[in-house]
Amino acid sequence: MIEIVLIRHSITTGNLQGRYIGSRTDEPLCADGIALLQNFVYPFVERVYVSPMRRCMETAEYIWPELAGDMIQVSDFRECDFGIFENKNYQELSGTPEYQVWIDSNGKLPFPEGESSEQFKKRCQDAFDSILEQERKKTEKVRIGMVVHGGTIMSVMERYGEPGKNYYDYQVKNGCGYLLTFGKENEFLSYECILPNRL
């Protein structure tokens, strides 16, 4: 059995300001983000995989400090490339022709000069599946942690969650996530929301 603790990074300034913070903006956690993690206790894990973005690595270091030196960076766990929307919020983009076209498409068009949702989801899902396969070859039973982005989590959960639910149904708050359980041959068994215990 393989258990995966899938956690969204803690709060950044861009999160507080409602900005599109993707793969081009490598911002750290803000004071609120650090304070949030100091109030939570997370499940024990044996290994940690992280997005190489600073906000994810810092979150993982706070959650599992004993594994900080052994974190495994996964490039394809990066957040989506939001193109020209990067580091801007709704107010700043309102009235921009490119933004209105994208909104009118219900988010189905690629981000201008950025990624399409299909490209983003595929790289996240493929990276997750590759790690799952690697872990299965190592041992029969393990619990691993992954600290990634909200979009990364939604991409994974769209593949493994309940039938009928879609990408946006799996939004999680900063510092929260899911516990996924897989059986032999990587058969998906179950998932549950993780709301970390408060100290």
pLDDT in tens, 7-26: 999 999 999 999 999 999 99
| Confidence check: pLDDT of 165 > 80 | yes
Three-class DSSP category at 93:
helix
pLDDT in tens, 110-150: 999 999 999 999 999 999 999 999 999 888 899 999 999 99
Could you tell me the pLDDT band of residue 91, with boundaries at 50, 70 and 90?
Answer: very high
| Confidence check: pLDDT of 151 > 80 | yes
Regarding beta strands 177-182 and 188-194, do their DSSP bridges make them parallel or antiparallel, or are they unpaired?
antiparallel
> What is the reported pTM?
0.93
Amino acid in position 103: I
| Confidence check: pLDDT of 108 > 90 | no
- Which pLDDT does position 199 carry in this prediction? 57
Mean pLDDT of all residues in 75-97: 94
Intra-chain end-to-end CA distance of the chain, in Å: 29
Average pLDDT, the chain: 93
Phi/psi for 163 (5° steps) reads -60, 140
The two tokens of residue 2 are 């393989």
Q: How far is CA 87 from the centre of its chain?
A: 18
Alpha-carbon distance 127 to 83, whole Å? 22
Domains in the chain: ranges and CATH: 2-80+116-198 (3.40.50.1240)
- Which pLDDT does position 81 carry in this prediction? 96
